[in-house]
């Protein structure tokens, strides 16, 4: 076995990227399982904090992987984890871009796409559950989560305002 | 053969005859702008930039290419940057679009990560982050509800069952994702093959 943490990060995120059906958010329960429960790279609290920091940064949701890589192996870890998570499917995307439209109406493509929708829905629900469980230690925190969900659902307000409100609530020390 | 429902209704886009082709520099700058304005997911910003502002693609073309990016595993918007970049600039375009989308956020999030490593123990910071995470969990919850509504409205039972099994196996029992997907995906795809939505839904 290779004990180099960069090797561990690369091999883990290379495999995970192939199973991230629905994108980075769908992979969060699995990242939590490995980073917190199996590999003990970080505590539940550190995972939740990393998730918050990734959400605070502009850009794609995949950035939580960058933070985990940084936590495990510094700057090199950040780069390796991010490239491993993005690389395999980007290469596939590049080669499929040419042939994709040929399969537009193919029955297998429609079946695969329709089959994956409920799978990613289940993963998103698990993701919301895992993050809420890590963050919401009392009733008030649960209320912040549910209220934020309702505001996002019914309005088009920027998430930054909601993060600011959540941060203010957190500052009171009631959560 | 009955036509399947398109994933998203495509709006008509006038003026597609005089669409411009972006240079590599324009591609890079456009994706930097998408990355830096995209809080809580970059997709709506990518659509706004490419379809509405720059008119590099029609809404249909965007939906088609984005469907490919969602069809593949991995981060959707990142996949999309590669598909879009390669359409307009081959492999160089793909690299440039990817670098524009990922480069600046990577620097920002790493700086925040360094600061967190320094000051993460401060009680004040920890409290603020707890509140932000509680709000961010709400963001995912809202996305989940938005995804669930069309599924609940469908007459078929199997998509609901598949979603529930995925949630329980991953969120509650905490089985490894690869194991769950290798078992569940073939079942879900076969169910979709034999009971597609278009066959049962009234026209």
Instruction: Using pLDDT thresholds of 50, 70 and 90, give the confidence band for residue B2.
Output: very low
Count Cβ neighbours within 10 Å for each residue of A88-127 and write b for 16 or more, e otherwise: bbbebbbebbeebeeeeeeeebbbbbbbbbbbbbbbbbbb
What is the tens place of the pLDDT at every residue in B47-73?
Answer: 888 998 889 998 888 888 888 898 899
Smallest Cα distance from A167 to chain B, Å: 4
What are the φ and ψ backbone dihedral angles of A145, each rounded to 5 degrees? -60, -50
Residue A51 contacts residue A131 (beta carbons within 8 Å) = yes
Predicted pLDDT at B10 = 42
Residues of chain A contacting residue B72, judged by C-beta atoms under 8 Å apart: 89, 92-93, 96
Which residue in chain B is spatially nearest to A48 when comparing CA positions?
Answer: B133
Closest residue in chain A to residue B170, using alpha carbons only: A126
C-alpha torsion sign, points A75, A78, A80, A86: negative
Cα–Cα distance for residue pair B118/B144, rounded to 1 Å: 34
Instruction: Please judge whether B138 and A67 are an interchain contact, meaning their C-beta atoms are less than 8 angstroms apart.
Output: no
Q: A149 pLDDT exceeds 90?
A: yes
CB within 8 Å: B114 and A119: no
Three-state SS at A21: coil
List CB contacts (< 8 A) between A25 and chain B. 140, 143
Separation of alpha carbons B26 and A83, rounded Å? 24
Q: Which pLDDT value is given to residue B18? A: 55
Q: What is the mean pLDDT of residues B102-128?
A: 93
Q: How do residues A11-23 score in pLDDT, each as one tens digit?
A: 999 999 999 998 9
Total beta-carbon pairs less than 8 A apart between chain A and chain B = 384
Return the residue in A17, A125, A148 with the most chain B beta carbons within 10 A, the one to mutate for interface testing. Answer: A125
Are B134 and A169 a contacting pair, CB within 8 Å?
yes
Look at B132 and A57 and tell me if their CB atoms are within 8 Å: no
Using the beta-carbon criterion (under 8 Å), do B177 and A85 form an inter-chain contact?
no
Question: How far is B103 from B36, CA to CA, in rounded Å?
Answer: 10
Pick from B97, B44, B40: which is nearest to A64 by CA? Answer: B40
Q: Where are the alpha helices (DSSP H) in chain A?
A: 5-19, 28-32, 44-56, 63-99, 107-135, 139-154, 159-171
pLDDT at B3: 40
Helices within B15-157 (DSSP H only): 24-37, 43-47, 59-71, 76-119, 123-153
Cα nearest neighbour of B166 on chain A: A122
Asked if B6 and B202 touch (Cβ cutoff 8 Å), the reply is no
Closest-CA residue to A129 (of B167, B202, B176, B96): B167
Chain B hits for A158, Cβ within 8 Å:
39
Contacts of A145 in chain B (CB under 8 A): 134-135, 137-138, 141
Tens of pLDDT, residues B184-200:
999 999 999 999 875 44
Answer whether residue B15 shows pLDDT above 90.
no
> How many CB atoms lie under 10 A from the CB of residue A156?
7
Taking the CA of residue A10 and the nearest CA in chain B, the distance in Å comes to 15
Interface test with B, best of A70, A128, A129, A144 (most B CBs within 10 A): A128
Judge residue A136's burial from the number of C-beta atoms within 10 Å of its C-beta, 0-12 exposed, 13-18 middle, 19 or more buried.
buried
Whether the Cβ atoms of residue B135 and residue B120 lie closer than 8 Å to each other: no
pLDDT at B163: 96
Q: How confident is the model at residue B13 (pLDDT cuts 50, 70, 90)?
A: very low
Are B151 and A121 a contacting pair at CB < 8 A?
Answer: yes
Across the interface, do A21 and B146 touch by the CB < 8 Å criterion? no
How close is the nearest chain B Cα to the Cα of A68, in Å? Answer: 9
Helix (H, G, I), strand (E, B) or coil at A147: helix
Residues shown for chain B: 203
* pLDDT given at position B41: 67
Q: CB–CB of A45/A134 below 8 Å?
A: yes
Residue B112 CA, chain-centre distance (Å), reads 24
Q: Using an 8 Å Cβ cutoff, are B35 and B105 in contact?
A: yes
> What's the burial of A4, exposed, middle or buried (CB within 10 Å: 0-12/13-18/19+)?
exposed
């Amino acid at each position: 076995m290779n004990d180099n943490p960069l090797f561990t990060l690369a091999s883990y995120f290379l495999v995970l990227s192939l199973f991230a059906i629905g994108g980075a958010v769908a992979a969060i329960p699995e990242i939590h399982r490995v980073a917190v429960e199996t590999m003990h790279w970080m505590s539940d609290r550190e995972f939740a904090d990393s998730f918050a920091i990734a959400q605070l940064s502009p850009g794609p949701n995949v950035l939580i992987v960058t933070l985990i890589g940084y936590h495990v192996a510094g700057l090199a870890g950040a780069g390796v984890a991010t490239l491993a998570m993005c690389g395999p499917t980007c290469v596939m995307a590049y080669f499929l871009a040419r042939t994709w439209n040929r399969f537009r109406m193919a029955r297998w493509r429609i079946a695969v796409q329709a089959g994956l929708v409920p799978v990613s829905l289940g993963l998103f629900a698990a993701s919301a559950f895992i993050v809420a469980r890590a963050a919401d230690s009392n009733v008030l925190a649960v209320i912040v989560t549910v209220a934020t969900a309702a505001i996002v659902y019914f309005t088009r307000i920027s998430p930054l305002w909601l993060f600011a409100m959540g941060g203010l609530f957190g500052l009171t020390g009631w959560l | 053969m009955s036509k399947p429902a398109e994933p998203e209704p495509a709006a008509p886009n006038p003026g597609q005859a005089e669409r411009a082709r972006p240079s590599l520099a324009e591609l890079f700058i456009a994706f930097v702008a998408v990355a830096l304005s995209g809080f809580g997911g970059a997709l709506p910003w990518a659509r706004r930039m490419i379809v509405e502002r720059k008119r590099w693609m029609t809404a249909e073309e965007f939906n088609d290419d984005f469907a490919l990016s969602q069809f593949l595993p991995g981060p959707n918007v990142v996949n999309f940057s590669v598909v879009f970049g390669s359409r307009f600039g081959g492999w160089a375009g793909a690299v440039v679009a990817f670098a524009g989308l990922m480069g600046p956020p990577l620097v920002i999030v790493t700086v925040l990560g360094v600061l967190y490593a320094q000051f993460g123990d401060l009680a004040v910071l920890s409290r603020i982050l707890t509140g932000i995470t509680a709000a961010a969990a709400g963001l995912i919850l809202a996305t989940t509800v938005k995804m669930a509504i069309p599924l609940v409205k469908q007459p078929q039972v199997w998509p609901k069952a598949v979603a529930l099994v995925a949630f329980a196996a991953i969120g509650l029992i905490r089985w490894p994702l690869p194991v769950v997907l290798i078992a569940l995906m073939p079942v879900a795809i076969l169910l979709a093959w034999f009971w597609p939505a278009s066959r049962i839904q009234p026209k």
